[in-house]
Amino acid sequence: MASNSFNFIFLLTLLSPVVGHRGSVDLKQYDPLVVSTWPFIEAVRAAWRAVHAGASALDSVVEGCSTCEQLRCDGTVGPGGSPDENGETTIDALVMDGVTMEVGAVAAMRYVKDGIKAARLVMQHTQHTLLVGEKASEFAISMGLPGPTNLSSSESIEKWTAWKKSSCQPNFRKNVLPQNDCGPYRPNNYLHLSDETCSVIDQSQIPRLPHVGLHSHDTISMAVIDRTGHIAVGTSTNGATFKIPGRVGDGPIAGSSAYAIDEVGACCATGDGDIMMRFLPCYQVVESMRLGMEPKLAAKDAISRITKKFPNFVGAVVALSKTGEHAGACHGWTFRYSVRSPAMEDVEVFTVLP
């Protein structure tokens, strides 16, 4: 009997360190991290304050992107920027939870200024992934967001008026002929058009659209790692200036503008969304990292896949590993992205050359 008691106590002694170690893993604290496209410093600070105080990655992403919307970062995020051909501003936004793989997104949303919060509501209160247009606005308002609101501003209307005076050039149309300077448009081989109703335009003389860039066409795309090690991403944009009404860019498309998998890492993207969404570069970045590629190479690989087909493409991605390693790659412009970690006294901006 004594021998059995001794053996039992000895076994408990051996097991106790193992149980304690497993418990410590469950309670492990990670260093939080915030990464964002462009020097949207106030947005990164807002996300950092939230995650540093213990907020979840998802809540912190919403806080950061919402701040950028309120500040109308560079006129490309939130209300009051990027008028379409009708002079109207609309909003695209997305959130993604790297733990559950849930996504909420809105696209071409009218009358509601809080894009990232509307996307979060889609995730929280529907089994859908993406709501679009005026019906997305109705849903967001029904869930408590302010609206309907005029999303135009004096700046956006002034920009649109000047564009109209320039015969609506340049624009995103191709292979069409306008009945008047600003349309309506018809295919240039449209059988029912006559010389009396359509003036033929030398397509080679139409100016090309300016390069995608700050103040003309851009996105905040943000990734956050919280204290539990979970990852979330979010995006918000008012799209391309003078876009065709109804156009949706890559902002609300999971895998294009942003992507996150808790066990691997995340990606943020910005640039010519009409091209980028054909390649899902952020999905590619995260999958490359899953296969063992380091962030810098994963980012470069994703960009190179695009430039092989579209050498004039303009865009960038930021890769973020589960361990907090980050790197960017770009083509067609000099790209900058922002980072905040516990090792930094404030937000730091990293420059990536093409």
144 is in an annotated binding site: no
As a whole number of angstroms, the distance between CA 41 and CA 77 comes to: 14
| CA-wise closest residue to 64 among 262, 248, 217, 268 | 268
As a whole number of angstroms, the distance between CA 151 and CA 145 comes to: 14
72 is in an annotated binding site: no
As a whole number of angstroms, the distance between CA 49 and CA 54 comes to: 9
CA separation (Å) from 261 to 102, 126, 163, 302?
Answer: 10, 21, 42, 17
250 is in an annotated binding site: yes
Q: Is 219 marked active-site?
A: yes
248 is in an annotated binding site: yes
274 is in an annotated binding site: no
b/e map 205-215, b = 16+ CB within 10 Å: eeeebeebbee
Handedness of CA 114, 171, 311, 314 (dihedral sign): negative
Under 8 Å between Cβ of 336 and 350 = yes
81 is in an annotated binding site: no
As a whole number of angstroms, the distance between CA 101 and CA 261 comes to: 7
273 is in an annotated binding site: yes
| CA-wise closest residue to 75 among 137, 173, 145, 154 | 154
89 is in an annotated binding site: no
Under 8 Å between Cβ of 297 and 316 = no
Catalytic residue (choose from 67, 219, 235, 241) = 219
Residue ranges for the binding site for substrate? 247-250, 270-273
Annotated binding site: 247-250, 270-273
Q: Which positions are annotated as active-site residues?
A: 219
